[in-house]
Amino acid sequence: MKSLIQFFLFSSTFFTYALSAPDKKGAYATPEDAAKDPDFSIQGEYEGSYTKGNGTKSKVGIQVVALGNGIFNAAGFEGGLPGNGWDLSERAQSEAKKADDGSVTFKKEEGGSSAVLKKEKLTIYSAGGKALGTLNRINRESSTMGLEAPKGATKLFDGSSLDHWKPGARKTDDGLLMQGVNSARNDFKNFTLHIEFRLPYMPKARGQGRGNSGMYLLGTEIQMLDSFGLSGAPNECGGLYKWKRPDENMCYPPLRWQTYDVEFQAATTEKPPMMTVKHNGIVIHDKIQLKNKNSQGNIHLQNHGNPVRYRNLWIVEN
């Protein structure tokens, strides 16, 4: 039997949706609202194993992306999901539309191998219809989720007030920080920072119109964007905007809480600025020398008109 990568391999046009014209309508800011869309319960991450043609079992992860109107894209990862075993080989890719019975069948061509998604399980079948393995829908959580501010930290936002932000900052009724805020201070230099963020569910939106924000640290932007299932380009989630892609695309499905953990060293007369970033507990930038050589600056959470939310934001200055 051909590998999962081969039977899922579609054309390079699979992810043209990421480059299509933005459509900002239909944003869901909470899981409760998103549940109104039946596609929300289908999209997500699936993990398990299947039996190859030589009889050996192989672990695999699949990310299913909702594109609206019952259309889905799937990205397959040999070895497991990104950050959880993926062997960094070429991603498998396919597209399918939901059937009347609620199932979604991904396949390369008629008569070939297939993967059928129904009731939060994804079953892989041979060309002859033999079940080779079943993957279960999972909800991953960052290893740094809920990380408490250590002694000496400044809680920039813990849901209780907006004191550390310039006028105009807003929070939701349930105590979440809203996009489009600037720190009151403009003299941050060397620090450790933790932030938790949630991207909206926008199945019909595309590219930079799909759950867009960004975190600027002394002028350097770490992109925040619904890039679930994408390749991890410099302008996608975790990228240093437009100039460095993340080592791995660790973006979770929309409306799953995610984390950034940052070690930042500002520029000095002797040394360039340097930054290490963890996305959902996985290092995606390791001691990267930055282009922006500011010796101090502020923290900015960008507003692109999408309902991105933040919580548990703290900083320890070194």
DSSP 221-276: EEEE---TTS---TTSTT-BTTTB--SS--PPPTTS-EEEEEEEE---SSS--EEE
- The fold adopted by the segment(s) 154-317 is Jelly Rolls (2.60.120)
CATH of 4-138, one of 1.10.20, 2.40.128, 1.10.287, 2.30.30: 2.40.128
For residues 94 and 265, give the distance between their C-alpha atoms in angstroms, rounded to a whole number.
42
CATH 2.40.128 domain extents, the chain: 4-138
Which one, of 20, 17, 8, 19, lies nearest residue 91 by Cα? 8
- Residue 52: its pLDDT value, please? 87
Which one, of 144, 165, 178, 152, lies nearest residue 303 by Cα? 178
Instruction: Phi first, then psi: give them for residue 52, nearest 5 degrees.
Output: -80, 175
- Residue 1: its pLDDT value, please? 42
- Residue 21: its pLDDT value, please? 31
For residues 24 and 137, give the distance between their C-alpha atoms in angstroms, rounded to a whole number.
27
CATH 2.60.120.560 domain extents, the chain: 154-317
Q: Which residues pair with 121 in a beta bridge?
A: 118, 136
CB within 8 A of 3, min separation 6: which ones?
52, 58, 78
Residue with the bigger pLDDT between 113 and 258: it is 258
For residues 137 and 12, give the distance between their C-alpha atoms in angstroms, rounded to a whole number.
26
Q: What is the DSSP letter of 140?
A: -
Residue 119: Cβ within 10 Å count? 10
Q: What digits encode the pLDDT tens for the residues 17-59? A: 333 332 345 799 999 999 999 999 999 999 999 998 888 999 9
- pTM of the predicted model as reported, rounded to 2 decimal places: 0.90
- Residue 137: its pLDDT value, please? 97
Which one, of 125, 132, 130, 89, lies nearest residue 107 by Cα? 125
Q: How does the average pLDDT of the chain come out, rounded?
A: 91
For residues 315 and 113, give the distance between their C-alpha atoms in angstroms, rounded to a whole number.
50
Query: For residue 11, what pLDDT band results from cuts at 50, 70 and 90?
Result: very low
- At residue 10's C-alpha, the angle toward residues 86 and 2, to 5°, is 65
Which one, of 118, 61, 70, 71, lies nearest residue 95 by Cα? 71
With 0-12 / 13-18 / 19 or more C-beta atoms within 10 angstroms meaning exposed / middle / buried, residue 166 is middle
Q: What digits encode the pLDDT tens for the residues 149-171? A: 999 999 999 999 999 999 999 99
